[in-house]
Structures are given as C-alpha cells and as structure tokens.
Amino acid sequence: QVQLIESGGGLVQAGGSLRLSCAASGRIFSNYVMGWFRQAPGKEREFVAAISVSGGSTHYADSVKGRFTISRDNAKNTMYLQMNSLKPEDTAVYYCVADSDSSWIMRTSQYEYDYWGQGTQVTVSS
C-alpha cells in the first residue's frame, strides 16, 4: 500500500504560481511512476503530468506544457508540481497518483494508476 497526501493548493490570481507537493508513505516510493490528475467542477478527471521512477523522464498534457513542471525527490519520498502562469481554467482539484508498474510508458488514463491521494483544491481567479 502507498499513502499519498497532497498539499500546497490555494487561491491565486491569474498569472501567478503555486507549488503542489505529494508526500508518499508505505512502499518504496522510488519504485513507482508518479503523476498528477485534476478535476474541474462538472468535468471529467484529466491527466496533467507524469514522471518516471528516476525522474529522468516526464510527460505533460498539452494544456499545461511549458507552464507546469513535475519533479520528484526520492530521498524525501515527495513529488512536486510547479505551476506557473496559472489560468482560470486551471481551477480544479489536483490529485497525486502512483502506479506500481515501474516501466516508463505513457499513462494518461486514470485507470492506469493504482493509488490516489485525497486531492488539493487549486483556484485561479481572473
């Protein structure tokens, strides 16, 4: 089992920045592919970004490419999402996810991830 706890959400003006963190406990963090999803009110959950076990490979949704950066610190069992140039359409609950399959293949479906955090709210005002 892996427990995931997100933090760092909040209210920010358009154009601002936030940094989300995801602290993991349980199994060996460095064996898991990690990622972020988000869900806006009335919309389906969507993929945001993913990172390989080493942190050397990343993948982003087109909607956040160039603005968001995913990273991880395996020594601290923590993953991050640096969000810059935020837009009102980035408003959503952001979820940290983990997949026990350590192979690096692009996983953009929510059904490909085994573990989920409770989510943290990000609100971007215009």
**Which whole-number Å values give the CA distances from 99 to 8, 46, 67, in the listed order?**
22, 16, 24
Of 11-15, 39-43, 100-104, least confident by mean pLDDT is 100-104
Q: Is 22 exposed, middle or buried (0-12, 13-18, 19+ CB in 10 A)?
A: buried
CA-based nearest residue to 23, from 59, 75, 93, 68:
75
* pLDDT exceeds cutoff 90 at 75: yes
Q: How far apart are CA 115 and CA 102, in angstroms?
A: 13
Q: Tens digit of pLDDT for each residue in 16-27? A: 999 999 999 977
Instruction: Check residue 1 and give its pLDDT.
Output: 80
Q: Tens digit of pLDDT for each residue in 23-74? A: 999 778 889 999 999 999 999 999 999 999 999 999 999 999 999 999 999 9
Instruction: Check residue 117 and give its pLDDT.
Output: 97
Instruction: Check residue 123 and give its pLDDT.
Output: 98
